[in-house]
Amino acid sequence: DAKTTQPTSMDCAEGRAANLPCNHSTISGNEYVYWYRQIHSQGPQYIIHGLKNNETNEMASLIITEDRKSSTLILPHATLRDTAVYYCIVRRYPQGGSEKLVFGKGTKLTVNP
Amino acid sequence: NAGVMQNPRHLVRRRGQEARLRCSPMKGHSHVYWYRQLPEEGLKFMVYLQKENIIDESGMPKERFSAEFPKEGPSILRIQQVVRGDSAAYFCASSTTGLDTEAFFGQGTRLTVV
C-alpha cells in the first residue's frame, strides 16, 4: 500500500504557482520522497526527489518539512500542459539495492486558463 | 541517450492468444520494473527484475504471466492465453544501481483483447 496521503484534486490558474501537498507521517530514515506525474495516460514522468533537504530543478521545487512527515511540490508558473495526475511516493533503499515505486491515487491537478 | 523504449505501442490479441511486450531500458540501466494500468485506474506494480534475476514479483498474477530480463536483449513480459480482463496499459521503467537514483518510464504498450 502507498505510504502517502494526497488531496484527490486541485485547481490552479495558469501562470500561478501550484503547490501540491503530501503527507508521509510514517516515513523512515532510509526513505526518499519522489514525485512523478502522468499526463493523460502517457508514461509517468519523473519530476524530482529528495531525502531531507529542499530540492529544485528545471521542472519544480520540493520542500520537505524538518521532521520529514510532509512535503510540498511547487510548480512555480503552472501552464495548461501541467494538467496531470501527480504522485507523491516514498521509496526505500535497502542495503545494496533499490525498491519499486508504489503509486497511490495521486492528485489530479487541473490548470485553468 | 534514448529513453526507455517499449514495443509494440499497441497490441491487439484474441482471447486465448499470447501477448509479448518488450522493454528496452535506458543505456546503462540494469533494473527494470513492469506496471499495469487498467482503464480509469492507478498504476499497479507487477515485477522488478535485474539482469537475469527476478527480484520482486509480488504483483504478478500467479498464472499466465511471466517476465524475464536476459543478459542480452530487452525485458519481456509474456501473457499466455489472454482474457478480456488483461486489456490494459503496461508500462516499463528502468533505473541504475545504487542509492538516490530515479526510475524512468516508457510510453507503454496498450493491450486490447478482443
- Of the candidates A43, A100, A101, the beta carbon closest to that of B106 is on A43
Q: What is the pLDDT of residues B50-100, one digit of tens each?
A: 988 999 999 999 999 999 999 999 999 999 999 999 999 999 999 987 666
Residue A84 has pLDDT above 60, yes or no: yes
Predicted local distance difference test score (pLDDT) of residue A98: 62
> Could B42 and A103 be called an inter-chain contact, meaning their C-beta atoms sit closer than 8 Å?
yes
Q: What is the pLDDT of residues A44-76, one digit of tens each?
A: 999 999 998 899 999 999 999 999 999 999 999
> How many whole angstroms separate alpha carbon A85 and alpha carbon A45?
10
Query: Between vectors from CA B99 to CA A60 and to CA A5, what angle results, nearest 5°?
Result: 50
B interface test, pick of A98, A99, A102, A107 with most B CB neighbours within 10 Å: A98
> How many whole angstroms separate alpha carbon B14 and alpha carbon A19?
45
> How many whole angstroms separate alpha carbon B21 and alpha carbon B69?
12
Partners of residue B33 in chain A, C-beta under 8 Å: 100-101
Mean pLDDT of B10-33: 96
Q: Is B103 part of the contact surface with chain A (CB cutoff 8 Å)?
A: yes
Residue A40 has pLDDT above 60, yes or no: yes
A10 band by pLDDT with thresholds 50, 70 and 90: very high
Output A106 or A93, whichever has higher pLDDT. Answer: A106
List the grid coordinates of A70.
510532509
- Return the H-helix or E-strand segment holding A65: none
DSSP label at A59? S
**A64-95 in b/e burial notation, b at 16+ Cβ within 10 A?**
beeebebbebbbeebeeebbbbbbbbbbbbee
Q: Is B42 part of the contact surface with chain A (CB cutoff 8 Å)?
A: yes
Partners of residue A40 in chain B, C-beta under 8 Å: none
> Could A43 and B37 be called an inter-chain contact, meaning their C-beta atoms sit closer than 8 Å?
no
Q: Is B25 part of the contact surface with chain A (CB cutoff 8 Å)?
A: no
Residue B28 has pLDDT above 70, yes or no: yes
A31 band by pLDDT with thresholds 50, 70 and 90: confident
What is the four-CA torsion angle of A26, A33, A88, B36, rounded to 10 degrees? Answer: -100
Percentage of chain B lying above the pLDDT 90 cut: 81
> Could A106 and B95 be called an inter-chain contact, meaning their C-beta atoms sit closer than 8 Å?
no
Output A29 or B1, whichever has higher pLDDT. Answer: A29
Predicted local distance difference test score (pLDDT) of residue B39: 85
Q: A60, A55, A90, A59: which is closest to A74 by C-alpha? A: A60
Predicted local distance difference test score (pLDDT) of residue A97: 58
Mean pLDDT of A94-101: 67
> Could B100 and A43 be called an inter-chain contact, meaning their C-beta atoms sit closer than 8 Å?
no
Predicted local distance difference test score (pLDDT) of residue A95: 56
Q: Is B98 part of the contact surface with chain A (CB cutoff 8 Å)?
A: yes
* β-bridge mates for residue A42, sequence order: none
